[in-house]
Chain A
Amino acid sequence: MGTLGRAIYSVGFWIRETGQALDRLGCRLQGNYYFQEKLSRHRTLMNVFDKVPVVDHDAFVAPSASIIGDVQVGRGSSIWYGCVLRGDVNSISVGSGTNIQDNSLVHVAKSNLSGKVLPTIVGNNVTVGHSAVLHGCTVEDEAFVGMGATLLDGVVVEKNAMVAAGALVRQNTKIPAGEVWGGNPAKFLRKLTDEEIAFITQSATNYSNLAQVHAAENAKPFDEIEFEQVLRKKFANRDEEYDSMLGVVRETPPELVLPDNVLPDKAPKAA
């Protein structure tokens, strides 16, 4: 955005602020003070001036996650609850079929010892475990970052490589394909077996399927949730004996059946 765009942005800000003030004045005159109610202003997608996050339509972003600034999220990816992807000073790109699990933090590097400005690039079908911190690093396709791992600036995790849980990978480290690194600072532990490499893609598929279920459940409007609550109460599991005494056969209504594509072999794999 040029200076003109920035000027238009700030003038728009002034106009909107004045409009809100007029609105509040109107509310005061009408005698309703609902506008003073304090609600969280959290939004999943936030822009920083013209840096708008681009999230694919098929990606799942949990309602409590924050995606801020210059972030791209690809098809079939999932950003889980409490994640922060903050692309304010540089760009973050997340490939397709990738899952970034709960409470993870992805940021970009602006000021570090070498002074390099680095984007964060996460490839396709990557699994990033809970509470991982990815800072200005590159994670290639089908890599695995364990829970609570920290990846510092300039780290490259190559294809099919794995960072063990709780590891701290130091600056500018390259983790070669098919290896597990762990510890603080992270060191080479051992080679991955073929089984484990197969599990990485398996885990990505599992998660993208799980994400679809969560996305469907999160997209439900308020009254549908209420309706399902009533249904669940009505069709709650009773004791077998109680049912047989009454001679009732209970059927679960189709609304209450969760989609079974949580199982990996029941859904198509995300590209």
Chain B
Amino acid sequence: MVLSATAIGALLGLGTQMYSNALRKLPYMRHPWEHVIGMGLGSIFVNQLVKWDAQLQVDLDKMLDKAKAANERRYFDEDDN
């Protein structure tokens, strides 16, 4: 999971740097060290994104559980009255 996220992030960073060079009509690999920085940033970004997404899912599940509990309480409470 971490490995594939890192790989995808590295590719994304590399692609972005090459795209940025291409937009400026430079050769794709001008300033090759920037591509390494791009790959690093990309992999950090994707890893953080995956982490944040998992955390968000957990939080959302918690909130949904709470909402469900509230709904059920209302449902059964109304039934009781």
Chain A interface (Cβ < 8 Å from any Cβ of B): 10, 13-15, 17-18, 21
Contact = CB atoms under 8 A, between A and B. Distances in A.
A186 to B, nearest CB: 43
A10 B29 CA distance: 9
A21 B31 contact: yes
Contacts of A10: 29
Interface string B26-45: 00010111000000000000
Contacts of B31: 17, 21
Contacts of B32: 14-15, 17-18
Interface of A is mostly: helix
A205 B42 CA distance: 67
A17 B29 CA distance: 10
Contacts of B29: 10, 13-14
Contacts of A17: 31-32
A15 B29 CA distance: 11
Contacts of A18: 32-33
Contacts of A14: 29, 32
A17 B32 CA distance: 7
Contacts of A13: 29
B62 to A, nearest CB: 48
A21 B32 CA distance: 10
Nearest to A18: B33
Nearest to A22: B33
A13 B33 CA distance: 12
A244 B31 CA distance: 70
Given A10-B29, A13-B29, A14-B29, 8 more contacts: A14-B32, A15-B32, A17-B31, A17-B32, A18-B32, A18-B33, A21-B31, A21-B33
A179 to B, nearest CB: 51
11 contacts: A10-B29, A13-B29, A14-B29, A14-B32, A15-B32, A17-B31, A17-B32, A18-B32, A18-B33, A21-B31, A21-B33
Nearest to A21: B33
Nearest to B35: A14
Going nearest first, the 10 A-B pairs with the smallest beta carbon separation are: A14-B32, A18-B33, A18-B32, A17-B32, A14-B29, A21-B33, A21-B31, A10-B29, A17-B31, A13-B29
A18 B35 CA distance: 11
A18 B32 CA distance: 7
A194 B34 CA distance: 69
A26 to B, nearest CB: 14
Nearest to A14: B32
Nearest to A15: B32
Interface in B19-74: 29, 31-33
Nearest to A13: B29
A97 to B, nearest CB: 42
B66 to A, nearest CB: 54
Nearest to B36: A18
A70 B17 CA distance: 35
Nearest to B30: A17
B55 to A, nearest CB: 37
A89 to B, nearest CB: 21
A21 B33 CA distance: 9
Nearest to B33: A18
